[in-house]
Amino acid sequence: MKRLSEKPIQYLLLLSAVAAIFIVLLIFVFIFMEGLPVISKYGLAHFVSGRLWHPGDSEFGLLPMIIGSIYVTLGALVMGVPLGIGCAIFLAEMAPRKMTVLVRPVIELLAGIPSVVYGFYGLVVLVPLIRELFGGRGFSVLAGSIVLAIMILPTIVNISEDSIRAVPREYKEGSFALGATHWQTIKKVILPSARSGIITAVVLGMGRAIGETMAIIMVTGNVAVAPKSILDPVRTLTANIAIEMGYAAGDHAMALFATGIVLFVFIIVLNSLVALVPKRVGE
């Protein structure tokens, strides 16, 4: 009877999994059907490596947006990863229990804040601050990187902390028994054992950064030109789609779907990297 009562739940879970896969496949097919014609028409090499984005003149070069996405994402990782991993180490190994109970909900709250709020904060605070300190317009790669670094913190902190806490206690006790200090134990034993989870956190944070749209639109300036420094304005792939899709038609609209294909490939590659990370603690 117990096995019979579990059958409907098993079928329901199977149906949910199949539905999720089917929806992803539908999105995949739709984007490729809409975007491939313009890639075939102008050529993949020209589309990906072209430096000019002038839809009115049938110039669809995505290279400035690709470079912009990479710059902003790398900047966010440079700032967000050390801070996130450091916070995870502090919460898992050093913070008093009372402080952990207070700090962890605050970090989790960051994940629930709408991206437009982050963008508005960047627009009102970061952009004028960068303009005052470094000159220029303030709308820049730097502003986008700072906003994204804050946005990816919850992902990196939560997953890294869980990975650190999952390291068997015997590893830590054995290190102490051999005379290692707490920091030596963290550096030489705990972090190497938890590296698979930490790498996964970084890759997932990178995926969040690449896919962010609204906050980036508000602080980066949205100029379709490859930036020469972190203080130059920039446009990302996601921003390119969001800004122009409302009025695009013909080849212009198909070029934006092709932009989605490039973005889709980026996300697939990142998810594949997560799948390659060893799963066992200490592996």
**pLDDT tens-digit series, residues 59-97:** 888 888 999 999 999 999 999 999 999 999 998 888 888
Residues 6+ apart with CB under 8 A from 105: none
Number of structural domains the chain divides into: 1
Position 138 in a domain? yes
Q: Work out the average pLDDT over 137-144.
A: 90
pLDDT above 70 for 4: no
Q: How far, CA to CA in Å, does 176 sit from each of 92, 93, 216, 283? A: 17, 14, 46, 21
Of 96-105, 213-222, 267-276, highest mean pLDDT: 213-222
pLDDT above 60 for 280: no
Residue 142 — pLDDT band, cuts 50, 70, 90? very high
User: What does pTM read for this prediction?
Assistant: 0.84
Beta bridge partners of 59: 54
Position 28 in a domain? no
The Cα angle at residue 44 between residues 42 and 50, in degrees rounded to 5: 75
pLDDT above 80 for 245: yes
Position 111 in a domain? yes
CB-CB neighbours of 144 under 10 Å:
34
Q: What is the pLDDT of residue 271?
A: 75
Position 37 in a domain? no
Q: What is the pLDDT of residue 107?
A: 85
**Higher-confidence position of 108 and 129:** 129
Residue 188 — pLDDT band, cuts 50, 70, 90? confident
Position 63 in a domain? no
Look up the domain containing 103 and give its range. Answer: 68-235
Backbone φ and ψ for 156, nearest 5 degrees, come out as: -65, -45
Residues 6+ apart with CB under 8 A from 193: 167, 168, 171, 281, 282
Position 117 in a domain? yes
pLDDT above 90 for 227: no
Position 109 in a domain? yes
The CATH number given to whatever domain includes residue 173 is 1.10.3720.10
- The Cα 98–Cα 82 span in angstroms is 24
In whole numbers, what is the pLDDT of the chain averaged over residues? 86
**Amino acid sitting at position 213:** T
